[in-house]
Amino acid sequence: MRIARYVADDGDPRYGIVELEQDAGGHPDSIAAISGDPLAGAVNYTGERVALDDVRLVSPVIPRSKVVAIGKNYAAHAAEFNSTVPTEPLTFLKPNTSVIGPGEPILYPPETENLHFEGELAIVIGRICRRVPAERAADVIFGYTIANDVTCRDLQAKDKQWSRAKGYDSFCPLGPWIVTNLGLDEVADLEISTTLNGEPRQSSTTSLMVYGIPRLIEFVTSFTTLLPGDVILTGTPEGVGPMLPGDSVSVTIEGIGTLTNPVVAED
């Protein structure tokens, strides 16, 4: 099931179930509206259906408290910065105010001269949890979406720690929707790719993660409580690179979809 948040006719964001023409027996690309918040409890179809083209998708989730991101979780990405993989997962936080949705602009700040894309698989947490053993990780996962861990590479080096370089408003595009029916075995081997203006930049598979999803959830919840709607970014493969105002960046993950955002100079 694909759960999206969308705005129609400039109303408030609503949740809906996305049905694509490619689905067996599916409808033309459309959203079936649901009542309530699927992260908070049971939902019901309202009976309303709108064409996907007639709505504006927004971030499928606003993290309740935080985005926890993982650094250097693909060996080839660590190597492109002359680094090695850490001996345990390397974490940092992105504020929930950095989250934007599909199609919304990544704002190029005046303080940087080297803004990078990082395409990543994102985990959406479904329940309050702390100290989750790896073998129970599936119990706390609501679903998966796509993220772009936008980074000011120059400020990351200058500041030594990464809260500014990765925490600007608009630096965490999420979407286009949350897929809830992928098992841990399936997400452990998905193709992930990034294009800039249609040109291939990153191409890898989630099977090359150093630390898999169960270990990441175990590690993150060893030090912090995760709330429903919190998000874990699982790290980026090699091939990261610069974006400029006017560019369009797309991250595609097999079985989930494509997240596309324009880059726009911040006023």
**Binding region for Mg ion (CB under 5 A):** 118, 149, 236
Q: Which is nearer to Mg ion, 19 or 149 (CB)?
A: 149
Q: Say how far apart CA 155 and CA 150 lie, in whole Å.
A: 12
Q: Which is nearer to Mg ion, 60 or 235 (CB)?
A: 235
In the bound complex, what is the minimum distance in angstroms from residue 26's beta carbon to Mg ion?
33
In the bound complex, what is the minimum distance in angstroms from residue 4's beta carbon to Mg ion?
24
Q: Which is nearer to Mg ion, 4 or 187 (CB)?
A: 187
| Residue at shortest CB range from Mg ion | 149
In the bound complex, what is the minimum distance in angstroms from residue 14's beta carbon to Mg ion?
30
DSSP characters over 68-110 = EEEES-BHHHHHHTT----SS-EEEEE-GGGEE-TTPPEEE-T
In the bound complex, what is the minimum distance in angstroms from residue 25's beta carbon to Mg ion?
38
Please confirm whether the linkage preceding 38 is cis (ω < 30° from 0): no
Find out whether 177 and 38 touch, Cβ atoms under 8 Å: no
Element (H, E) at 253: strand 248-253
Q: Which is nearer to Mg ion, 118 or 218 (CB)?
A: 118
* Short-list 38, 96, 44, CA closest to 228: 38
